[in-house]
């Protein structure tokens, strides 16, 4: 193994210049470790996806389960190791010489760990080679890190009213949600484990912030969904007994034994003294225990006091609309003492139609879910769950009417209630028996108390898929403020001035802004933390044309690997678009080689394109492509080419990696009539590339060039730009505050004009260090 470690280390050491300081060398070594971990994680996820096509014969399925667990463990280890490299990278610059030497020793140990994990992965590949299916193109990625088996549970459905019975169905999601039938039990992915410095008694979450309450010291802690601690406050009021996120109020609701409070976390406030606002909104009658929930219209409070249980329903202004009371000997709706004393929160479906609770039978290992009519409070249906003794927490993923119930056996029960009154029930069994509570935000599931209340498991529950159309985005999930990042590039020698390090052609900025998106320039020579922050805040990235540099390749690789990782794990759409050099770099990153292109003569040359068979069912040039745009591309010189290297179609088709990863959508002739690949898109990921320059058609006016400025050429440009922005609208990332957003936007910089005779660009943004 020492020989292999030497090989890996030499890759980083060979990159070290004699003039490098220890700090620079450690930075390169840490970056190398991050790159290797990202790449290996990508390979492991791909192997998981291909393993899904195993035979379902018993002996092979057992092998699949065992090997899938092996892959899950490997992936967890490599992600943990990647985080260690990140941690070192963040502290290198602030460390003294003695600490840097210690960091160097750590990096050596981490690289040794990487080699060991890599060898285990290679061993896994060899051991499973005989049971892999050859064709994995149609496989679906399932990331079962926190589960050891999937057990679809049949349920007994009983109708207790004249209304139609609920029908058990394997198809839960309507065609509006997803085109294919989805198994709700497999429709989730592990995302992260958040470790805290404090114990948690209660938590609530929205899509970007988690609030944690500690009933021992009465502190409220605020943690970003990515695990970054924000701040905390001392809770000055009576103890909180339940807390919930209310989306229509954009506030947290906290229930105490005397009152209901709303808690606002205002991200735009710069000082912590006024960023958290607490307001009492309602005095409550005395009770022993309580739970609260809400949907998009109503707030529901369930209380128990002595011999009485009560359900109170409030509107958005906390005005009471109705109350249902019951004595123990006349329980609502079941005459049962145990039902009254469950103290387990019921949940509301999105449109106020169904209220769900549960009833534990006297018979062991049997629980019945109860579905009530919210208007009359009549029991409409029951769903019996076998092998379940008690569900002690239940939460609803409101928008999709998916309920999560955590049972005493550490099983997570997933119940989907559709508008046409069909039901599907699934069960997940966890490795750990320390999971004590589950909550949801608008789209995710969080499980806490996996380590004595000091850790949160974050699960992404998935209902979306890549949109194969360019006709628009579902308005209910559309991001109406998309922000797209554009890589800057090292300044060429002809434009060099003191401290002027990078530049960006203004034509790319105009190209994106004309579609209704904003632009953030992505600077070179920045910290890993800077790039990670932008990846988590932007909605897509454009790799522009220009001259190849190692720094450009390094930054592009970060966004490329993160994009693949996010889509593999949580099907998050983060579009990447490569133009000219960006197109070439996408191929290099996929092929893990910079030596894949060959010279070709296509500089300052406008030409038409030839559509290839894969274009017909592509997202970029498929059914959504207007016929006039297709005709212009095929029959007019509407594509401006400014490249001297290219990928030949025969080389592309012969390469098993490139041809499997990408679709070749179009080819074009160079000045000698030889074809080159001109448009691609990933078969699986939101990644697209053009060897030509669509942005030049409308925004570059250099004289004596072949850049096409015809009406059809400009419409081609507009179509391509709109496609990228429509992809970005499907991403819901955002900056943590308006101040943070403004700090990065292109508006902070001023473009400079260059002449129309010699300069490639008429307006350029320069960036100074």
What residues act catalytically?
A: 580, 693
Cβ within 8 Å of residue 292, ≥6 positions away: 242, 244, 253, 255, 260, 299, 300, 301, 302, 345
Interval 171-201: pLDDT, tens? 222 223 322 334 555 555 555 667 676 777 7
What does residue 613 show for φ and ψ, rounded to 5 degrees? -55, -35
pLDDT value at residue 758: 64
Among 418, 415, 305, residue whose Cα is nearest residue 370: 415
What does residue 36 show for φ and ψ, rounded to 5 degrees? -65, -40
More confident position, 433 or 521:
521
In the structure encoding, which two tokens stand for residue 673, read together? 């009539």
- pTM beyond 0.85: the answer is no
What does residue 512 show for φ and ψ, rounded to 5 degrees? -80, -45
Q: How confident is the model at residue 477 (pLDDT cuts 50, 70, 90)?
A: low
Distances (CA, A) of 672 to 199, 645, 655: 70, 14, 24
Residue owning tokens 């922005």: 725
Question: Packing angle between helix 581-591 and helix 550-570, nearest 10 degrees?
Answer: 60
221-235, 546-560, 712-726: the lowest-pLDDT one: 221-235
More confident position, 584 or 493:
584
Q: What class is the 147-461 domain?
A: mainly beta
Q: How confident is the model at residue 651 (pLDDT cuts 50, 70, 90)?
A: very high
Among 146, 175, 756, 768, residue whose Cα is nearest residue 474: 175
More confident position, 290 or 459:
290
372/363 Cα distance (integer angstroms)? 23
Burial class from Cβ neighbours inside 10 Å (0-12, 13-18, 19+) for residue 493 reads exposed
More confident position, 96 or 153:
96
Interval 385-428: pLDDT, tens? 776 766 656 666 655 567 777 776 667 777 776 655 566 676 66
SS3 138: coil
pLDDT value at residue 413: 75
Q: How confident is the model at residue 320 (pLDDT cuts 50, 70, 90)?
A: confident
Residue range 55-74: mean pLDDT, rounded: 54
More confident position, 316 or 257:
257
Percent of the chain past pLDDT 90, that is, above it, reads: 31
Q: Give the chain's mean pLDDT.
A: 75
SS3 740: helix
More confident position, 505 or 462:
505
E-assigned strand segments in 533-579: 541-543, 576-579
Phi-psi region at 604: left, alpha or beta (left = phi > 0; alpha = psi -120 to 50): left
pLDDT above 50 for 30 = yes
The strand pair at 422-430 and 167-168 is best described as: parallel
156-165, 324-333, 685-694 — most confident range: 685-694
pLDDT value at residue 308: 73
More confident position, 151 or 496:
496
CB 88 within 8 A of CB 103: yes
Residue range 562-570: mean pLDDT, rounded: 82
What does residue 749 show for φ and ψ, rounded to 5 degrees? -125, 160
pLDDT above 80 for 438 = no
pLDDT value at residue 180: 33
pLDDT value at residue 476: 45
pLDDT value at residue 702: 86
Q: What is the DSSP letter of 109?
A: H
More confident position, 641 or 388:
641
SS3 328: helix
143-152, 489-498, 526-535, 661-670: the lowest-pLDDT one: 143-152
pLDDT value at residue 312: 84
CB 461 within 8 A of CB 496: no
Among 542, 536, 507, residue whose Cα is nearest residue 522: 542
pLDDT value at residue 307: 65
Q: How confident is the model at residue 67 (pLDDT cuts 50, 70, 90)?
A: low
Cβ within 8 Å of residue 115, ≥6 positions away: 1, 4, 5, 8
Q: How confident is the model at residue 44 (pLDDT cuts 50, 70, 90)?
A: confident
pLDDT value at residue 688: 98
Among 80, 97, 132, 87, residue whose Cα is nearest residue 23: 97
75-84, 135-144, 291-300 — most confident range: 75-84
Interval 224-246: pLDDT, tens? 776 777 788 899 999 998 888 88
HSE on the CB side for 99, CA within 13 Å? 9
140-144, 194-198, 719-723: the lowest-pLDDT one: 140-144
Helix locations, 636-759, DSSP H = 649-654, 656-661, 696-699, 711-728, 738-744
- Domain coordinates in residue numbering, the chain: 2-131, 147-461, 483-768
Interval 4-14: pLDDT, tens? 344 344 444 44
pLDDT above 70 for 598 = yes
132/63 Cα distance (integer angstroms)? 11
Question: Packing angle between helix 58-91 and helix 528-537, nearest 10 degrees?
Answer: 120
pLDDT above 70 for 530 = yes
pLDDT value at residue 448: 60
The strand pair at 576-579 and 687-690 is best described as: parallel
Residue range 748-767: mean pLDDT, rounded: 82
Q: How confident is the model at residue 563 (pLDDT cuts 50, 70, 90)?
A: very high
The strand pair at 483-487 and 455-461 is best described as: unpaired
In the structure encoding, which two tokens stand for residue 257, read together? 């034994």
In the structure encoding, which two tokens stand for residue 736, read together? 């943590």
CB 287 within 8 A of CB 238: no
pLDDT value at residue 365: 60
Interval 97-133: pLDDT, tens? 888 888 888 888 888 888 888 878 877 766 554 444 3
Residue range 280-284: mean pLDDT, rounded: 90
pLDDT value at residue 362: 45
Q: How confident is the model at residue 168 (pLDDT cuts 50, 70, 90)?
A: very low
Percent of the chain past pLDDT 70, that is, above it, reads: 65
429-438, 663-672, 692-701, 736-745: the lowest-pLDDT one: 429-438
pLDDT value at residue 164: 34
Interval 369-385: pLDDT, tens? 766 666 766 666 677 77
In the structure encoding, which two tokens stand for residue 704, read together? 């004596």
pLDDT value at residue 753: 86
Distances (CA, A) of 474 to 123, 350, 730: 45, 18, 8
Interval 285-312: pLDDT, tens? 888 778 788 776 788 888 877 767 778 8
E-assigned strand segments in 408-551: 411-417, 422-430, 437-440, 444-448, 455-461, 483-487, 489-490, 500-505, 518-522, 541-543
Distances (CA, A) of 613 to 526, 584, 610, 665: 42, 22, 10, 7
Q: How confident is the model at residue 64 (pLDDT cuts 50, 70, 90)?
A: very low
518/542 Cα distance (integer angstroms)? 12
Residue range 624-646: mean pLDDT, rounded: 96
More confident position, 638 or 310:
638
590/657 Cα distance (integer angstroms)? 8
- Is-same-fold flag (147-461; 483-768)? no
pLDDT value at residue 3: 40
> CA angle, corner 496, sides to 493 and 497, nearest 5?
160
Residue owning tokens 């990332």: 733
Q: What is the DSSP letter of 329?
A: G
Which of the four CATH numbers 3.40.50.880, 3.40.50.1100, 3.40.920.10, 1.20.1250.20 does domain 483-768 have? 3.40.50.880
CB 231 within 8 A of CB 212: no
Among 39, 136, 135, residue whose Cα is nearest residue 590: 39
> Please, what is the end-to-end C-alpha distance for the chain in angstroms?
43
Interval 665-704: pLDDT, tens? 999 999 999 999 999 999 989 999 999 999 999 999 888 8
The CB density around residue 209, as the number of other CB atoms within 10 Å, is: 18
């Amino acid at each position: 193994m020492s020989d292999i470690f030497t090989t890996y280390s030499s890759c980083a050491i060979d990159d070290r210049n004699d003039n490098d300081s220890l700090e620079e060398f450690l930075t390169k070594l840490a970056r190398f470790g991050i790159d290797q971990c990202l790449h290996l994680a990508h390979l492991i996820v791909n192997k998981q996806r291909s393993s899904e096509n195993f035979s379902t014969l018993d002996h092979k399925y057992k092998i699949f389960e065992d090997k899938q667990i092996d892959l899950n463990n490997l992936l967890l280890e490599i992600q943990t190791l990647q985080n260690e490299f990140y941690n070192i990278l963040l502290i290198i610059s602030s460390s003294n010489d003695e600490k840097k030497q210690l960091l160097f020793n750590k990096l050596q140990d981490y690289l040794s760990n990487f080699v060991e994990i890599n060898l285990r992965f290679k061993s896994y590949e060899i051991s499973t080679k005989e049971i892999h299916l050859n064709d994995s193109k149609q496989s679906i990625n399932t990331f079962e890190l926190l589960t050891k088996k999937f057990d679809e549970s049949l349920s007994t459905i009983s109708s207790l009213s004249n209304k139609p019975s609920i029908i058990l169905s394997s198809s839960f999601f309507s065609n509006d949600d997803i085109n294919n039938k989805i198994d709700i039990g497999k429709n989730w992915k592990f995302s992260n484990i958040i470790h805290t410095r404090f114990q948690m008694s209660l938590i609530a979450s929205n899509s970007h912030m988690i609030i944690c309450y500690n009933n021992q010291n009465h502190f409220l802690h605020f943690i970003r969904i990515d695990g970054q601690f924000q701040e905390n406050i001392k809770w000055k009021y009576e103890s909180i007994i339940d807390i919930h996120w209310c989306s229509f109020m954009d506030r947290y609701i906290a229930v105490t034994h005397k009152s209901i409070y709303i808690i606002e976390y205002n991200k735009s406030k710069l000082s912590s003294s006024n960023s958290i606002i607490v307001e009492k909104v309602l005095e409550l009658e005395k009770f022993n225990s309580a739970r609260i929930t809400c949907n998009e219209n109503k707030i529901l409070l369930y209380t128990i006091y002595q011999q009485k249980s009560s359900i109170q329903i409030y509107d958005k202004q906390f005005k009471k609309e109705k109350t249902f009371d019951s004595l123990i000997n006349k329980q609502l709706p079941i005459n049962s003492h145990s039902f009254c004393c469950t103290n387990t929160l019921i949940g509301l479906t999105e449109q106020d139609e169904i209220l769900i609770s549960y009833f534990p039978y006297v018979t062991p290992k049997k629980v019945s879910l109860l579905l009530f009519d919210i208007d009359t409070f009549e029991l409409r249906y029951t769903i019996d769950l076998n092998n379940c003794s008690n569900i002690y927490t239940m939460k609803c993923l409101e928008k999709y009417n998916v309920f999560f119930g955590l049972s005493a056996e550490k099983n997570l029960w997933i119940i989907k209630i559709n508008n046409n009154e069909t039901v599907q029930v699934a069960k997940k069994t966890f490795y750990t028996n320390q999971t004590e509570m589950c909550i949801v935000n608008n789209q995710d599931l969080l499980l806490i108390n996996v380590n004595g209340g000091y850790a949160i498991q974050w699960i992404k529950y998935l209902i979306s898929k890549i949109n194969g159309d360019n006709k628009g985005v579902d308005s209910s999930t559309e991001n109406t403020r998309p922000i797209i990042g554009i890589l800057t590039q090292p300044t060429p020698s002809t434009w060099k001035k003191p401290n002027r390090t990078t530049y960006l052609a203004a034509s790319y900025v105009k190209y994106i802004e004309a579609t209704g998106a904003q632009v953030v320039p992505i600077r070179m020579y920045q910290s890993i933390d800077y790039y990670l922050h932008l990846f988590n805040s932007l909605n897509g990235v454009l790799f522009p044309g220009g001259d190849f540099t190692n720094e450009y390749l390094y930054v592009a690789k970060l966004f490329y690997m993160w994009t693949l990782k996010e889509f593999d794990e949580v099907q998050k759409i983060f579009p990447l678009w490569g133009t000219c050099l960006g197109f070439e770099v996408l191929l290099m990153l996929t092929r893990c080689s910079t030596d894949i292109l060959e010279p070709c003569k296509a500089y300052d040359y406008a030409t038409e394109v030839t559509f290839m068979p894969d274009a017909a069912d592509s997202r970029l040039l498929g059914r959504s492509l207007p016929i006039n745009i297709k005709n212009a591309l095929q029959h007019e010189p509407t594509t401006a080419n400014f490249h001297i290297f290219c990928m030949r179609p025969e080389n592309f088709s012969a390469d098993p990696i490139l041809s499997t990863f990408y679709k070749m959508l179009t080819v074009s002739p160079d000045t000698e009539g030889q074809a080159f690949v001109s448009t691609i898109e990933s078969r699986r990921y939101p990644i697209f590339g053009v060897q030509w320059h669509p942005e030049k058609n409308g925004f570059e006016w250099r004289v004596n060039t072949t850049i096409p400025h015809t009406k059809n050429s400009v419409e081609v440009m507009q179509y391509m730009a709109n496609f990228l922005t429509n992809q970005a609208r499907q991403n819901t990332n955002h900056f943590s505050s308006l101040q943070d957003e403004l700090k990065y936007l292109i508006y902070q910089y001023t473009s400079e004009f260059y002449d129309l005779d010699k300069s490639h660009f008429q307006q350029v943004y320069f960036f100074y260090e």
